[in-house]
Amino acid sequence: MTTALPSSRETASLIVQDVCSGKRTAVEVLETYLDQITSHEGEVNAFTLVTEQQAKADARSIDKAIANGDTVGPLAGVPVAVKDNLCTKGVATTACSKILEGWEPPYDATVVTKLKEAGAIIIGKTNCDEFAMGSSTENSAFGPTRNPHDLDLVPGGSSGGSAAAVAAGFAPLAIGSDTGGSIRQPASLCGVVGSKPTYGGVSRYGLLAFASSLDQIGPFASTVSDAALLHEVIGGYDPKDSTSIKEQNTSHSALIGHDLKGLKVGVIKELLGEIEGIHPDVINSCNRAAESLENSGADVEHVSLPSAIYSLSAYYLIAPAEASSNLSRYDGVRYGLRIDGSNLKEMNINTRTEGFGDEVKRRIMLGTYALSSGYYDAYYGKALKVRRLLAENLEELYQEYDVLLSPTSPCTAFPLGEKTQDPMTMYVNDICTIPANLAGHPAISVPFGIGTDALPIGVQIMAPPMKEQVMYQVAASLELAADV
């Protein structure tokens, strides 16, 4: 087993404190992380691009502002890694696909704009499964990312590069996107914190779409409080996103440190072993997490979410259907790759054949089939009914319980190449995380123990829409118990 994991990781909060007090400069902080990247990025492959020169210029600007007594933002001098499916003006954004090779957006995603306004230093773009379609970060035109805990293992996906960047000490914070668990699952496998906000709580403007009714941008961090801080920075209403929620409470960290007395926690039975494939080590960690919350004063009970059994099947009809529509824009005409042909149709076929990888092609074909005449009601229509049923089941549970607890991933990190030949085996990795995406609810993965293989295990806290405060409160309590 080879590891690139540093012995310790510092918090973003500490960096801001040091930079603003003059204990360290933003340039010095940045150099520390660039040194770590130089030492280990060749082994991990977390980045598609390290924006070293621009990052140094931005760090110097922060130091100058502080020296002049100017006001700086809540992430002043903090390096942040950004997933390569978020637009960055003048910087290559490819979603790790050949079909967008070399494309440089003319604008920043809203999340990127907010990071810059907060004083964060964008240190680079991170590797991911092509167009965020995958659970292992092996479906990338830039090659696979490796898990810093063991370089022979996957980091999870699709935001594996962002998770690995935080785990390896390449950046204290990172941004990912989560369509069916693409933040939380790699967070679990890499032993970091990963949060999916309420759908509409963080602007998707500038995110290269996979499945528009499911995609959500969110934070990676080493601690719950850092994740909440980053969430506060990137969240809020954005008129550029038609699904953005106007009335929002963005003080997500307000309840961190408060006791759990009076809170009710439901442990989802179906995701705790009733569904086949949940590893005993994962079940054990989740049971210990439930005991920890009970010891902290919460009322903990096992609950049933029967529609969870069908959520995986529903997701793998809805998400590919939306992908087949969203990815039709990559036609060789407007931007990105173009492979010529004798006519327009042949050019379209040649471009997409060469530009899209196998998993993306698989999902486009599956989605197109599900939407086709004669099959729409039998497949896509039925999946939408399951989605509605799941939302109703969750709404009933949240009338009695403040949060729900479950595993994040059914297993710990697995070897590179182990599941690439069997798509169904790979898809099962999303079984615990998909319900939150289908319902549009917030959820977070927190490291809680290690398996018999000495690899990290994450547990998941789900909460009702716009109830991130209590979600982070409970997650912080688990984090504290896990460190004891």
Active site residues: 83, 158, 182
Per DSSP, helices labelled H in 302-422 are 308-326, 344-355, 358-371, 382-398
Task: Report the DSSP pairing between strands 173-178 and 456-462.
Answer: unpaired
Which residues of 192-341 form beta strands (DSSP E)? 193-196, 216-221, 264-268, 299-303
Strand partners, 444: 195, 461
C-alpha 87: how far from its chain's center? 16
Per DSSP, helices labelled H in 235-307 are 280-295
C-alpha 151: how far from its chain's center? 20
Q: What are phi and psi of 86, to 5 degrees?
A: -110, 130
Q: Report CA-CA distances (Å) from 4 to 174, 220, 247, 316.
A: 18, 18, 43, 34
Per the structure block, which two tokens stand in for 17?
A: 């404190």
- What residues contact 240, with CB distance under 8 A and at least 6 apart? 110, 203, 205
Cα separation of 448 and 106, whole Å?
41
Q: 239, 210, 217, 206: which is closest to 109 by C-alpha?
A: 206
3-state secondary structure of 419: coil
Cα–Cα–Cα angle for 129, 135, 139, nearest 5°?
30
Per the structure block, which two tokens stand in for 93?
A: 């954004």
